[in-house]
Structure 1
Amino acid sequence: MKLNCVVVDDSTIHRITIAKLVNDHPDLNLVGDFSNASETRNCILTKPVDLLFLDIEMPVQSGFDLLDGLKKRPQIIVVSSKSDYALKAFDYAAIDYLHKPITKDRFNKAVQKALDLQSLKKENTEDDGEFIFIKSNLKNFKIFISKIKWIEAYGDYVKIITEEENHLVLSTMKSFENELPDDKFMRVHKSFIINIDRVERFNSKFAEIGPVKIPLSRNKKEELAKALNKASS
């Protein structure tokens, strides 16, 4: 199965170059190419898109502004003439960072990462239901949503607490929050996201998951109560 791709770059020459590389690749399908974030966002919201080749520096809205506006993101390969944005790009879970001008060999290596990850996502989900993939210690791990207890900020990383083990992932809380279903998880504090189904007790200050007390930000008690009632109905 081919990956549906979108190319966004305000440089016509670079956009045409990347679009041609996509068209020439046997496992890619070009859905569209755009010069700005607004048109790209409209395309992603209305068509199935698996992979985004994204320039960062664009007029009006940057590539990061585009990503911030997407609740569910496709896989991302950042394309830039600068290295300044590399660390931030990986905060957005970019799978690769290509420097302009792009060679065909380097392009194909980045695409292979996307293809490999897509294949992993299509593996049997077993009996544990919905899952996500994370990258920890240079390895990809399948994490089942139902087994996540909570996520907490850990410097430049987020720490994922599950039934079996914990994982450190290079990511911002906001970026990782976007990877989770919002009907099952809630940001209850600047440093904590909790699995609503795992909450056993709560008051105005804490939500309890097993013996652990997760702090609640001001006014989160009412929001959590509504989410718990909705989940149980």
Structure 2
Amino acid sequence: MKLNCIVLENSIIQQKIMEKKVNYHPNLELSGVYNNALEANRHIKNSNVDLMFLDVDMPLISGFDFLESIEDPPATILMSNNADYAVKAFEYNISYYLLKPITSISFNIAVRKVLKHHNLIYPKNGEGEFVLLKSNLKKVKVVLRDIIWVKAIGDYVKIVTDKQNFVVQFTMKRFEKMLPDDKFLRIHKSYIVNLRSVDQFNGRNVEINGNSLPLSRSKKELLENKLMFS
């Protein structure tokens, strides 16, 4: 399942940036980009919009006024160059407030919060956060804390868990963005590991459950620091 999104943004440059970020995210589907509030409102009325990225600094009508004009607004992530709007923004029951320039980290944090609300990534019955993925033509639930490591296989990834393994169609880069970076680390171009599963490591390899995985030299210090605080 993907969230159906629209972007309402005054700047053409920012439109392109947001379009790229949304299209790259595995749980988002972009259905429209607008710089006109009237057209965006028409889209919301006639389509099922799950998430709106809304620029506060719109011409003619501000993002705040636009939100007030919508009878049943979708989940909204407000965007602005002005940090002073942040307090006012949350009076409108928004999901998140993004300060421009929008980094990939802040974008993913904002989207992650919305995904939890939509039950795409969320804790349930004490199991912890999980994702729903398609493997062998079936939807499977993968609890994040059960993932031991992930291996890149071309345009697919192999997810190794303590119960079973899954092969899903995802690039490594896309899958990496779905994982919390305080619990997982990409130790090599072909491997992501769950930090709590690491038994030991040296300058070349990471040992997990008797398996030796390659460790890039550039990631050794980062791995050591993350293990110290994980």
Per-residue deviation at 1:15?
Answer: 8.2
Equivalent pair of 1:149/1:162 in contact (CA under 8 Å): yes
Amino acid at match of 2:186: R
Normalising by structure 2, we get a TM-score of 0.58
Amino acid at match of 1:193: I
* CA–CA separation in structure 1 for the residues paired with 2:51 and 2:118: 14
Change in Cα spacing, 1:6 to 1:156, as seen in structure 2 (3 Å) is same
**Counterparts in 2 of 1:113-132, with a 5 A limit?**
118-119=118-119, 121=121, 125-132=124-131
Equivalent pair of 1:148/1:160 in contact (CA under 8 Å): yes
* CA–CA separation in structure 1 for the residues paired with 2:124 and 2:78: 31
Q: Which moved more, 1:9-18 or 1:203-212?
A: 9-18
Partner of 1:48: 95
Change in Cα spacing, 1:29 to 1:74, as seen in structure 2 (3 Å) is closer
Amino acid at match of 1:23: K
**Residue deviations 1:41-94, cap 9 Å, x none?**
9629x7527xxxxxxxxxxxxxxx99798334749xxxxxxxxxxxxxxxxxxx
Partner of 1:145: 144
Per-residue deviation at 1:220?
Answer: 2.0
SS in structure 1 at match of 2:212: strand
Question: Are residue 70 (structure 1) and residue 107 (structure 2) matched?
Answer: yes
SS in structure 1 at match of 2:227: helix
Partner of 1:7: 7
SS in structure 2 at match of 1:219: helix
Amino acid at match of 2:194: N
Per-residue deviation at 1:25?
Answer: 5.1
Per-residue deviation at 1:143?
Answer: 1.2
Question: Are residue 22 (structure 1) and residue 28 (structure 2) matched?
Answer: no
Equivalent pair of 1:156/1:171 in contact (CA under 8 Å): yes
Per-residue deviation at 1:145?
Answer: 1.3
Structure 2 unmatched runs, 5+ = 13-32, 57-62, 64-75, 81-85, 87-93, 97-101
Cα RMSD for the two superposed structures: 4.3
Equivalent pair of 1:199/1:209 in contact (CA under 8 Å): yes
**Counterparts in 2 of 1:135-214, with a 5 A limit?**
135-214=134-213
Amino acid at match of 1:48: S
Q: Report % sequence identity.
A: 36
Equivalent pair of 1:22/1:29 in contact (CA under 8 Å): no
Structure 1 unmatched runs, 5+ = 50-64, 76-114
Amino acid at match of 2:44: V
Per-residue deviation at 1:172?
Answer: 1.5
Per-residue deviation at 1:14?
Answer: 9.4
Per-residue deviation at 1:119?
Answer: 4.8
Per-residue deviation at 1:144?
Answer: 1.0
Normalising by structure 1, we get a TM-score of 0.57
**Counterparts in 2 of 1:94-109, with a 5 A limit?**
none
Equivalent pair of 1:15/1:33 in contact (CA under 8 Å): no
Per-residue deviation at 1:211?
Answer: 1.6
SS in structure 2 at match of 1:229: helix
Per-residue deviation at 1:8?
Answer: 5.0
Equivalent pair of 1:23/1:30 in contact (CA under 8 Å): no
SS in structure 2 at match of 1:225: helix
